[in-house]
Amino acid sequence: MALGLRCSRLVHPAFCNFLAALTRPVSEVTLKTVSGRQNDHRQYLAYPAVPIRHFATKKAKAKGKGQSQTRMNLNTALVEDIISLEEVDEEMKSVIEALKDNFNKTVNIRTSPGSLDHITVVTADGKLALNQIGQISMKSPQLILVNMASFPECTAAAIKAIRESGMNLNPEVEETLIRVPIPKVTREHREMLVKLAKQNTNKAKDSLRKVRTNAMNKLKKSKDKASEDTIRLIEKQISQMADDTVAELDRHLAVKTRELLG
């Protein structure tokens, strides 16, 4: 009796699985050929089909989740009759170069005589660079001298231009000699330069927006030269170029900020 119960326990799970397979549709059942023949007929055992779940790998998930938009690169030769993308690109690059030049001249911890050269002075003869009407020299690491003996009538205008240059300079005058004390390199001075760098970067972005707007307006005037799809692709290309330029401006700002704050 005990032996019979033991056997029934072993047989019972297999028998239940067999019955379950018989009650399932054929599409859900896997047939397996059993080796050997009986009465010249192949024998098959029915096994319930096991559903298979394919899991996405980490690489696939990352690709699907963080995949960036496809970048466009139009052949400039194909659109040169509509707009010169090379000229637009050069104008955008000039914005970057202007910001870099601005950083080198006005956003430095150590002020040099050359940093005053670019300052524009409003005179009776028009706008002139400070180094055109004054002789600039370095008296000491803490003092720059601007000799206005050649154009004494422009001394007051030169002082005003230096004060409004955004370089945090407070010039003093002795007849035709302008003394420009160099601010000490304090934490406050460094933070002021960072603020100035951000202001200059925002101005550069304004210039970039003007370049982009002019390009888009020029493109709109050429809609009769190409299909709507082509115009749309060119618009996307110009927007992509502008986005790349903004990223480059931000990169230069980040580098300058690290340099100023140490």
* Number of other residues whose CB lies within 10 A of the CB of residue 201: 22
For 76-107+186-261, CATH number out of 3.40.50.620, 2.40.240.10, 1.10.132.20, 1.10.3210.10 equals: 1.10.132.20
Give the model's confidence band at 37: pLDDT under 50 very low, under 70 low, under 90 confident, else very high: very low
Residue 110 has a pLDDT of: 64
| 104 vs 257, higher pLDDT | 257
Q: How far apart are CA 214 and CA 100, in angstroms?
A: 23
Q: 76-107+186-261 with 113-181: one CATH topology?
A: no
Q: Does domain 113-181 have CATH number 3.30.70.1560?
A: no
Question: What pLDDT, on a 0 to 100 scale, did the predictor assign at position 168?
Answer: 77
In contact, 148 and 155? CB cutoff 8 Å: yes
Q: How far apart are CA 102 and CA 96, in angstroms?
A: 10
Cβ atoms of residues 201 and 99 within 8 Å: yes
Task: Yes or no: say if 104 and 167 are a contact pair by the CB < 8 Å rule.
Answer: no
CB 92 within 8 A of CB 79: no
Chain centroid to Cα 58, Å, comes to: 26
**For the chain, what is the radius of gyration of the CA atoms?**
39
Q: What is the pLDDT of residues 137-161, one digit of tens each?
A: 988 878 999 999 999 999 999 999 9
Is residue 139 a contact partner of residue 133, using CB atoms and an 8 Å limit?
no
Residue 205 has what pLDDT? 97
pLDDT value of residue 20: 52
Quote the CA–CA distance of 234 and 239 in Å, as a whole number: 9
pLDDT of residue 17: 54
The pLDDT of residue 139 = 87
Residue spans of the domains in the chain: they are 76-107+186-261, 113-181
- CA distance linking residue 97 with residue 252, whole number of Å: 10
In the numeric block, the tokens 């397979």 are attached to 21
Among 6-15, 43-52, 117-126, 159-168, name the one with the lowest average pLDDT: 43-52
Lowest mean pLDDT among 53-57, 92-96, 184-188, 231-235: 53-57
Most confident of 4-18, 45-59, 60-74, 156-170: 156-170
Average pLDDT value for residue range 115-121: 85
Note whether 245 and 208 are within 8 A (CB): yes
d(CA 105, CA 124): 26
- pLDDT tens column, 170-229: 999 999 999 999 877 788 878 888 998 999 999 999 999 999 999 999 888 877 777 888
Higher pLDDT pick, 44 / 253: 253
Q: How far is CA 249 from CA 14, 101, 244, 256, in A?
A: 72, 12, 9, 11
The beta strands (E) that lie in 49-171 are given as 120-123, 126-129, 135-140, 143-147
The per-residue pLDDT of the chain, averaged, comes to 77
Q: Is the model's pLDDT at 98 over the cut of 60? A: yes
